[in-house]
Amino acid sequence: MKDLEFYGESGPLLLSEIHDLVLKKKESVLNYVVKNLSVDELVLMNFLGEHALPTFVENLLNELKSLEKVTVVSSSDIYKSILLPENVEVIEEYELQEDFSSSPINNYPKVLAGENIINIEIPPLWVEVLDPKITDPVGKIEEFIKKVEKGNVIVVLKTVLTKAEREAIESLAKETGGFVVDVLTEFVDPLDDIEMAFSKRITNRMEKLLGLKMLRGERP
C-alpha cells in the first residue's frame, strides 16, 4: 500500500471535522485490504504523514497485529520512539517497479499484490481547499463538482460570502451530498451609490467587508 499518509493534512484540514472524515476514509481502505484481500504480509509506503504523533502510530500499527508481517518503508525517527508490534519491521528503502497510489483522497485507490495492481472497491473522497482570495467561490465550487462523482464531495472554503452566494453553495452541497466548511461570515452588500463605488474599487473580500462596515460606523 502506498500514499495513505494518515496524518499528512495541515492547515484547515488538520484542525477541522474534515480531518476526521479523511482519516476514516483512509482507514476504510486499510481495513478493506486486510479483511477482503486475504493478506498475510503488508508493505506500507508513505504511511504516516508529517503530522503524526507516536500514540497515533502505535494505535494504527496495533490494528495490524493479525497479519503475519508488516513492513513499513520510512526514514522517520518517530518509529524509534514507539514500541513496535512483533510483526512490524521498519526499513528505509523499498524498490517499486510500478507506481500507484492507495489514497482514496481525490484518487481511486489501488494496491500492488505480487505483480498485479488491484483496484480497491471504495469510492474516492473528493476534497478541494479553495483559496480565500477567490473572487467567484460559487463558480469555483461548481467547476470542481463537475469534475468528480456526486456524493463524495467536500469543499473547504474560508472567505466571506454574500447571502446569495451562501444560498447557492448550500444548494450545491445538498445536491451533491457534500458540504462546505470554514465560511468566515456573511458579506455585507452595498446599500447605496457611495458604497457601491467603494465596493467596486476593492477586490479583496475581507477588506471590502471591513471597509463597508467602517463607512457605516460599525465595528469591524
- For the chain, helix, strand, coil in percent to 5 are 35, 20, 45
pLDDT at 89 exceeding the cut of 90: yes
pLDDT at 101 exceeding the cut of 90: yes
3-state secondary structure of 128: strand
**Residue 24 to residue 153: CA distance in whole angstroms:** 15
3-state secondary structure of 62: helix
CA 109 to chain centre: 15
Residues 69-84: tens digit of each pLDDT: 999 999 888 888 888 9
Report the range of poorest mean pLDDT among 94-103, 109-118, 177-186, 208-217. 177-186
Average pLDDT over residues 84-104: 91
CB 7 within 8 A of CB 52: yes
Average pLDDT over residues 187-195: 79
CB 4 within 8 A of CB 23: no
pLDDT confidence of residue 182 = 66
Instruction: Using a pLDDT cut of 90, give the percent of the chain over it.
Output: 25
pLDDT confidence of residue 13 = 62
Backbone phi, then psi, for 163, in 5-degree steps?
A: -60, -40
